[in-house]
Structure 1
């Protein structure tokens, strides 16, 4: 088996089967940060396997055209044995056509991903600038208040300046402890660059909508990131203030696009989890097994390339 076949097969298998593994019921018993790592490693490994296979194919095809060994490339690299019966000129034309199609598909995908990321960045910059113009600073560092009847809080990252936005209704309803927990939640999002993670997954999912892994990751990871921020706030301020704040802010009000809100995603699941004292540990057998699975998942493409080049 050659490297291209092995890498493409592994990418397809991972894209199809990883979502089922990462969404099984037992995943709720491990820390959300570890679950996020599992999703990101699966996505990164799948993309790395695709890119590596395409790179090997493109380099091999270009080399075969230059050295006039197109027939050898088709047989050894692609496994197309019927091409051995074709004239060399036909085999060369086949390789050139494959090279052009592969490069055009790759460039089109990259263009869509980059365009989506740039669009998301421009949207965040515009919203962050509007917040600073319309809102007014509070006594809390990096927190801007906006006049609104709906109680909500969210964070927005615009360039180098990161802002937490709290409506006046939320300031009136939340206790001092509850407000501190909400601000800790939003700052955890900003520290973890959660906006960039979600934007990247959404861009990949939009560019490659037929890959089950990317669709599932774009749906599942935002919820897990909310749980990560919940845990950070709970460690700093305790469960009760955060639970009370989530209940207060759960009005169903839609937050602006590109923002992460304290009470905007999977509130019931998050509150149920916060009320459970056993939320999973990094040292329990299930978590350690997940670490092993993540490491093995990431190592396979490198091993494949190494074994196939020996």
Structure 2
């Protein structure tokens, strides 16, 4: 029975829950807590899938064999099957994550080197005092900005085009740099990598882009909040409006939603944030206590563990 419940939880957390959570508007008020909730949904889905794989063979033993027959070869086959099924899930996820991490870091290292090579030193002096050592300015007729995460012992890069310097006022420019620096300081790239790996590792039949895409939007909103705190809503909104008016999608396909959020002065209350954090904890803890622990209490003695 535990296997059935865990399978159901895994399917619900991989499909309907992300679909509903992606459409929820309240998450925009508390992006940090909402990201933690999304992470909890992902962790709970993986744990439920692994738990289901571990519990399924033991459940089949209970259905088809009498208690005195659940020993010897039958027990060994069940334990082996459980280990293989759970191992396949874990190994696939780990392999996808490692390959993604390696390829991403190689690509970023090359990107940082190219940015350093092509950066305009004369334009960089105009913003160097704002965040010395991290800002690079490239030639470009379209105003936009992005960041390239660093690695251990090496700083990331905040990249601006010359058009951004010409278009934005000083306060808007500072807000943009604060936004990109927030991504670097909080290592938002690691959060993105985790959800990208989960997306690639999940079977196509239950795979959904909603978690990956919604978390990416929430991370942008979280970085927007960093710019708002330091330089005000007007500066952050003005910068986004300047980028959006160029039609540049690379700065964020949901830039209109982010602009509306800032102009509406959306800020979540502490009660909503605390409730979201508690929901995130409950997603992992409740199934463990109500399903996994009782199942382990019954299953472990069957394999000789008391």
Give the whole-Å Cα distance in 1 for the aligned partners of 2:192 and 2:205.
17
TM-score, length-normalised on structure 2?
Answer: 0.80
Give the whole-Å Cα distance in 2 for the aligned partners of 1:20 and 1:147.
41
- The answer as to whether partners of 2:120 and 2:139 remain within 8 angstroms in 1 is no
**Number of paired residues?**
283
How far does residue 133 in structure 1 lie from its aligned partner after superposition?
1.3
Range moving further from structure 2, 298-307 or 187-196: 298-307
Give the whole-Å Cα distance in 2 for the aligned partners of 1:131 and 1:237.
27
Out of 145, 148, 173, which is 1:153 matched to?
145
Give the whole-Å Cα distance in 2 for the aligned partners of 1:181 and 1:209.
40
SS at match of 1:247: helix
Give the whole-Å Cα distance in 2 for the aligned partners of 1:272 and 1:50.
38
Written as runs of structure 1 = structure 2, the 5 A alignment for 1:131-280 is: 131-137=115-121, 138=124, 139=128, 140=130, 141=132, 142-159=134-151, 160-210=154-204, 212=206, 215-250=209-244, 251-253=246-248, 255=250, 263-277=251-265, 279-280=266-267
TM-score, length-normalised on structure 1?
Answer: 0.79
Q: Is residue 293 from structure 1 mapped to residue 287 from structure 2 by the alignment?
A: no
Q: Is residue 81 from structure 1 mapped to residue 63 from structure 2 by the alignment?
A: yes
Question: Deviation string for 1:244-303 (max 9, x for gaps)?
Answer: 111112223364xxxxxxx323110011111113x142324x444333322211212431
* Residues 271/80 of structure 1: CA separation in 2 closer, same or farther (3 Å cut): same
Q: Is residue 126 from structure 1 mapped to residue 113 from structure 2 by the alignment?
A: no
Give the whole-Å Cα distance in 2 for the aligned partners of 1:172 and 1:193.
29
How far does residue 5 in structure 1 lie from its aligned partner after superposition?
4.5
CA RMSD for the aligned pairs?
A: 3.0
Give the whole-Å Cα distance in 2 for the aligned partners of 1:38 and 1:212.
19
How far does residue 213 in structure 1 lie from its aligned partner after superposition?
7.0
How far does residue 45 in structure 1 lie from its aligned partner after superposition?
1.9
Give the whole-Å Cα distance in 2 for the aligned partners of 1:275 and 1:172.
24
Give the whole-Å Cα distance in 2 for the aligned partners of 1:87 and 1:309.
17
Give the whole-Å Cα distance in 2 for the aligned partners of 1:235 and 1:11.
38
Partner of 2:30: 31
Partner of 1:45: 44
- The answer as to whether partners of 1:117 and 1:200 remain within 8 angstroms in 2 is no
Partner of 2:10: 11
Give the whole-Å Cα distance in 2 for the aligned partners of 1:215 and 1:83.
42
* Residues 301/121 of structure 1: CA separation in 2 closer, same or farther (3 Å cut): farther
Range moving further from structure 2, 13-22 or 149-158: 13-22
**Structure 2, unaligned stretches of length 5 or more?**
298-306
- The answer as to whether partners of 2:145 and 2:160 remain within 8 angstroms in 1 is yes
